[in-house]
A and B are shown apart, each in its own frame.
Chain A
């Protein structure tokens, strides 16, 4: 089998191969493989998608069909910090719209956009499973609950949240 893995690092290839070993059919590792690339590069470019497809023995089109289905696979560049703002019902009742509007206003971006300095991307997300502490949001891998004005300032001003690896 000819495998074109051009553009992927040795570490990425090793991590993807480990995921592939967990499944009877190696192409089952497609989502994890895309997540490996995203962990290292922030997003999945066409070039890297092709390389992953080569590794998994899928056509790039098949793999892109998978990649574009899942909202946590980014096929466009995102900011260093991705704000996932819960917009489901419990958070909505407790002020999620106001939280999102405040973030949009402060950063000058609408949901789906990235700030010009490449620092923040704002995205909606469905219920984060912390409804007893609504409203909630995530910045990269950190969950913020009971988000009020002060917490928002902390997130936006002091630029909290772990940097994307």
Chain B
């Protein structure tokens, strides 16, 4: 089984240096791009490969790039790497950033070439101190070896890269909030349209791509779209970093063919549940995805199959709910997170999330009322898709709404006897 994204990552956690990276075919994709291909040919290759964004939304990467204006009149364009990994339960980009920073840089340089952006920013969360150190080292190595900067590998193409280390707030991961943050402002999201590809950083065409997404690009360019499509076990293409956290025997992260069934990830790779614990449910792709149940264990972890099961692939890092953890308290933990991290820009999110938290707190404190459960269901619609500027509050509604459906009894259990509906 091929593991292109993690092939250079060492078990001891030390980073792949430039010589390691070059030894394993590193920067060959970049050489091919700038020497043999036009920017539009690079875009076409990524489109043909069927790469979909790995940050959570799953938008086709080549299509995203295709919306950027090209040609002489397009003016200044930007590429931004979203390395603001902060989705609870998600720890995949950290591995790629710390373990193989040149792979990200190669993906970044090829992508900048494909959309003809001369300036790129890596937006890194402030707490990823080790990743920052290794990225700085890799940027300097890539500049000195002619892979980055003026006239990349002797071509006409030049690109500069700046590392921006952030200062907290989950909302920065939302791509338009990220752009405001990069402009030095409060990280509130922007209305779409216009989409960043047309009007992004300082109103210029901008592509924002996730770390894992960009790490796929060098391999696609080097080995081709046909090869890339053979890596998967489903209609989606390539490999995916899958993670498992919670009460399993071996929590961790593995690069596997996209479409690997949930059961295989939890039972073979994560070693199954810890002794004395049974699987009650799981969030397949981070905190803002709907709960799935043991009956979904044989669902392939890809975009369509997880959507058909009623959730989202999200970041592909699962959070396990075991039978000794209370789903209501777990949801309370999640909603407290979303309430705290709301940027406060739009009303359903700013006021709705604390309301949800208050109702849940009352419920677990034994002060629940019979009307609280329908109220929570109604609040899920208020904060849900279509009513907010960005996906934060709809993301918060996902685990709450699905828990209300799947774990109804656990919610009712907290109602005082008098409040229970017969």
Binding site for B on A (CB under 8 A): 22-25, 27-32, 34-35, 56, 65-66, 69-73, 84, 87-90, 92-94, 125-134, 138, 141, 143
B165 A35 Cβ-Cβ under 8 A: yes
A129→B91 contact, CB < 8 A: yes
A72-B126, A72-B168, A141-B129 given as contacts; is B243 within 8 A of A25 (CB)?
Answer: no
Q: Which residues of B contact A25 (CB under 8 A)?
A: 183-184, 202
Residues of B within 8 A of A (CB-CB), count:
53
CB-CB under 8 A for A132 and B183, given A69-B169, A127-B86: no
Contact in complex: A126, B88 (CB < 8 Å) = yes
CA distance A87 to B329 in the complex (A): 13
Residue from B168, B336, B337 in contact with A71 in the complex, judged by beta carbons closer than 8 Å: B168
Knowing A31-B184, A69-B187, A132-B252 touch, does A90 contact B337 (C-beta < 8 A)?
no
Interface contacts (Cβ under 8 Å), in number, total: 133
Q: Which residues of A contact B251 (CB under 8 A)?
A: 131-134
Chain A residues, Cβ within 8 Å of B157: none
* B387 lies within 8 A of chain A by Cβ: no
CA of A73 to CA of B169, assembled, Å = 11
Extra inter-chain contacts (6) besides given A32-B164, A93-B247, CB under 8 Å: A32-B165, A126-B86, A127-B88, A129-B128, A131-B243, A132-B91
From A21, which residue of chain B is reached at the shortest CB distance? B162
CB neighbors of A among B150-195 (8 A): 162, 164-170, 181-187
Chain A residues in 8 Å Cβ range of B86: 126-127, 129
* 28 intermolecular pairs with C-beta atoms under 8 Å apart: A23-B184, A27-B184, A28-B182, A28-B184, A29-B184, A30-B185, A35-B126, A65-B186, A66-B186, A70-B166, A73-B167, A84-B127, A87-B336, A87-B337, A88-B88, A89-B89, A89-B337, A90-B88, A93-B322, A93-B330, A126-B86, A129-B86, A129-B90, A129-B128, A131-B88, A132-B91, A138-B127, A141-B129
Check B60 for interface membership: any CB of A closer than 8 A.
Answer: no
Please, which residues of chain A bring their CB within 8 A of the CB of B337? 87-89, 126
